[in-house]
Structure 1
Amino acid sequence: MYGEIERFIKVWISAILGLCYCYYIAARIPKGFLRLLSLLPILYLFIILPLNISSPNLVGYTSFFLVQLGIFKLLLFSFNKGPLALSPPNIVHFISIASLPITPKQHPPTNKNNTTNTQKPKWLLPLKLLIFAMIARFYEYNEYFHPHFILVLYCLHLYLSLELVFALIATPVQTLFGLEIEPHFNEPYLSSSLQDFWGHRWNLMVRHDKKTHTVYNHVSCTITGLVGPSCATSAAMLATFLVFGLVHDLIYYHVTCVPPTWEIMCFFVLHGVCTVAEVAVKKVVLRCGWWLHRAVSGPLVVAFLAISVNWLFFPQLLRNEMDRKSSEEYVILVDFVKSKIYH
């Protein structure tokens, strides 16, 4: 394990050095193709660096931060867009924003009714931390639980691990730098529709970077004149989900080190098609004065998410025993924390 941590530190030192190059050299190159050309070695570096780590948890988060966050932020930066184009005041700000789940708010919302801006109870995060610790302990008794219950645990594990790690990273950075940052999640289990889940509740920072600047707007603006605004919007949504699928397949390759099976791509294509269909149906039924109460639509959405995740999202990880390796690491972490608390 110590050797794995050493490799993890070396990977991040390499990533930080690459971002120093971006800040001191690439940033001085005029925006556009020339700056993009100067950033290509760093983009390639971010793709190959996670391959040096074998720990499922460490490589998963490293790949997510460098590939899904870092690469897209640098692509936007090459054209002077996105969070890195706001001229961070120093190199520490630049590195933090480029490589961590942090996107400063450009125009903080003033609408008090905005669901993503609602103050959450202070006890909610500790409760999630407690549930996560319990899940890590449950993994020791997998053989006693029904397979369907284990799959429910995997869904909770996925959500809670992301939210807790993001909060653990974002909170000190926000405190030290005084930044007001975009929220990461907005209680996705309360989603009333797929559009609500993907657009307003799940991984909001990544959705903002890819949809608003990188994929959605470009596709929509390019084909609006050819197919009309309605079809262009649908095509842009599908293109965004397609990019999500490609990026997640790369992350899965980093984690499992086996060729992609494209199941994860099918997962995002399925959700893209269903979200586009849902938006189209909602426009029709709302004109007729019909609507589905969230007490009904909410459980349907959660059920669809759980079924599709267990059908297409988890199988590749389970076949390569990533669940066992990951749970063993979390059990070690929980035991380490307990040993420090009680001794």
Structure 2
Amino acid sequence: MVPGGDLGSLAAVVAAVTACMAYARFAARRLRPGLPRLAALLPVLAVLPLPPLAFRALHPRAISAFFLAWVAEFRLLLLASGQGPLRPSLPLPAFAAVATLPVTLRDPSATAAARRPGLGLAESAAMAALLAAIVSLYRHEERMPRYALLALYSVHVYLALELVLAAAAAAARATMGLDLEPQFDRPYLSASLRDFWGRRWNLSVPALLRQCVFRPVRARLGAPAGVLAAFAVSGLMHEVVFSYLTLRPPTGEAAAFFALHGVCAVAEGWWAARRRWPRPPRALATPLTLAFVGVTGFWLFFPPITRPGADKQTPPSLCDFEQWIDTEIKEDDKRYMEMCKKWEA
């Protein structure tokens, strides 16, 4: 942590990330895709996981870890192979935004009818008010039933992600003129797990996993293996983000959550391929899908971040280190004075 608290840390992180992206853009413009470009980008890939640890508050630490240790790492790996949304020809601010923020450039060939509308001002205000109300209820969490508390956490996660990602996209659109896709498409209307994870929830992440994991694995082992691999990688990356949030070792529960959903998504695809087999109507499929996501989330996804003390962890700061040094010096001085008194006696 730098002097000035998390605001000072934010300025330092922005400066460090901008420098990293300037170097990455410079290297990508001068090297062809392949091993030379990957070798040139390795220093940036090694540095990006470190800046989130500059934050003491858990929300900026977790969000920046998602942006830098997951999104930026995967997009730079795609850039090294000549794929993905990053283009070295982009101006530096746009390059840094596309590299680090979970935003997707809108397809210019898509018609206006096919484009999903972004989050409106009234809808954003309503979500922010609801999120504030949920946060205010946490003061009574000791008196809440466990499942009611977990339900609040579920809505909290959705609202926070929706607002943070919409704000990031709006900032990029306003400052750099980037035409960006919204990050969610009404996940509460999902009629299947494949619909929820692939077409409605945090859409920039499925786009990344589709390019980095699903397609290469599918080309070699088939579509079911590609789906399982994408869910497995998503689980591992969630373990990483949870470790940033709690500053504790991974528990494996998030990985198990996504592995379970990957298996179920493959089973859904197998069932859907049997055209003559019955499928539940949408009015039944949607509540069943949401119930499955919620129940398995209560069982595996939320426990690592809701256990007692998980939200109280903070990384050691320079001030903590200086305080420890000062304490040790005072203790040494005290022992020295006692020794001198003994010799004088």
**Shorter-chain TM-score: which interval?**
0.7 to 0.9
Instruction: Give a deviation string over 1:270-307, Cα, whole Å, max 9, x none.
Output: 110011111111222x334x221111111111111111
Provide the C-alpha distance between the structure 2 equivalents of 1:99 and 1:233, rounded to a whole number of angstroms: 29
Question: What is the aligned counterpart of 1:287 among 264, 271, 276?
Answer: 276
Q: 1:311: how far off?
A: 1.0
Instruction: Give a deviation string over 1:1-46, Cα, whole Å, max 9, x none.
Output: 9423322332232121111111123431121111011111111111
Aligned length: 312
Q: 1:138: how far off?
A: 1.1
Question: What is the aligned counterpart of 1:245 among 228, 231, 235?
Answer: 235
Partner residue of 1:100? 101
Q: 1:296 to 1:324 in 2, by over 3 A?
A: farther
Percent identity for Structure 1 against Structure 2: 34
Q: 1:133: how far off?
A: 1.2
Q: Secondary structure at the match of 2:224?
A: helix
Question: What is the aligned counterpart of 1:21 among 8, 20, 23?
Answer: 23
- Listed as ranges, the matches of 1:213-232 within 5 Å are 213-223=211-221, 232=222
Tell me if 1:315 matches 2:303: yes
Q: 1:92: how far off?
A: 0.9
Higher helix share: 1
Q: 1:73 to 1:162 in 2, by over 3 A?
A: same
Q: Is the 8 A contact 1:109 1:117 kept in 2?
A: no
The one-letter code of the counterpart of 2:40 is S
Q: 1:161: how far off?
A: 0.2
Partner residue of 2:257? 267
Select the structure of larger CA radius of gyration. Answer: 2
Instruction: Give a deviation string over 1:137-180, Cα, whole Å, max 9, x none.
Output: 11122233322211110000001001101111211221333222
Q: Is the 8 A contact 2:246 2:313 kept in 1?
A: no
Q: Is the 8 A contact 1:54 1:255 kept in 2?
A: no
Q: Is the 8 A contact 1:263 1:313 kept in 2?
A: yes
Q: 1:121 to 1:99 in 2, by over 3 A?
A: closer
Q: 1:218 to 1:203 in 2, by over 3 A?
A: same
Partner residue of 2:290? 302
The one-letter code of the counterpart of 1:94 is F
Q: Secondary structure at the match of 2:185?
A: coil
Q: Is the 8 A contact 1:219 1:239 kept in 2?
A: yes
- Listed as ranges, the matches of 1:329-340 within 5 Å are none
The one-letter code of the counterpart of 1:235 is A
Provide the C-alpha distance between the structure 1 equivalents of 2:162 and 2:216, rounded to a whole number of angstroms: 29
Q: Is the 8 A contact 2:116 2:185 kept in 1?
A: no
Q: Is the 8 A contact 2:25 2:88 kept in 1?
A: no
- Listed as ranges, the matches of 1:146-185 within 5 Å are 146-185=145-184
Q: Secondary structure at the match of 1:84?
A: coil
The one-letter code of the counterpart of 2:22 is C
Partner residue of 2:329? none
Provide the C-alpha distance between the structure 1 equivalents of 2:97 and 2:117, rounded to a whole number of angstroms: 25
Question: What is the aligned counterpart of 1:36 among 13, 38, 41?
Answer: 38
Q: 1:58 to 1:297 in 2, by over 3 A?
A: same
Q: 1:86: how far off?
A: 6.7
The one-letter code of the counterpart of 2:100 is S
Q: 1:121: how far off?
A: 6.5
| Alignment TM-score, normalising by the size of structure 2 | 0.84
Partner residue of 1:47? 49
Instruction: Give a deviation string over 1:232-281, Cα, whole Å, max 9, x none.
Output: 11000001111111111111121222111111110110110011111111
Q: Secondary structure at the match of 1:36?
A: helix
Tell me if 1:144 matches 2:143: yes
Provide the C-alpha distance between the structure 2 equivalents of 1:152 and 1:321, rounded to a whole number of angstroms: 19
- Listed as ranges, the matches of 1:46-125 within 5 Å are 46-85=48-87, 87-88=89-90, 90-110=91-111, 112=113, 114=114, 117=116, 123-125=122-124
The one-letter code of the counterpart of 1:255 is L
The one-letter code of the counterpart of 2:300 is L
C-alpha RMSD of the superposition: 2.1
Q: Is the 8 A contact 1:69 1:99 kept in 2?
A: yes
Q: 1:87: how far off?
A: 2.7
Q: 1:258 to 1:174 in 2, by over 3 A?
A: same
Provide runs of 4+ in structure 1 moved above 6 Å: none
Q: 1:323 to 1:299 in 2, by over 3 A?
A: farther
Q: Is the 8 A contact 2:131 2:159 kept in 1?
A: yes
The one-letter code of the counterpart of 1:275 is A
Q: Secondary structure at the match of 1:123?
A: helix
Provide the C-alpha distance between the structure 2 equivalents of 1:156 and 1:15, rounded to a whole number of angstroms: 31
Partner residue of 1:337? none
Provide the C-alpha distance between the structure 2 equivalents of 1:68 and 1:120, rounded to a whole number of angstroms: 24
Instruction: Give a deviation string over 1:158-211, Cα, whole Å, max 9, x none.
Output: 010011011112112213332221220011111111011011100111111221
Q: 1:44 to 1:124 in 2, by over 3 A?
A: same
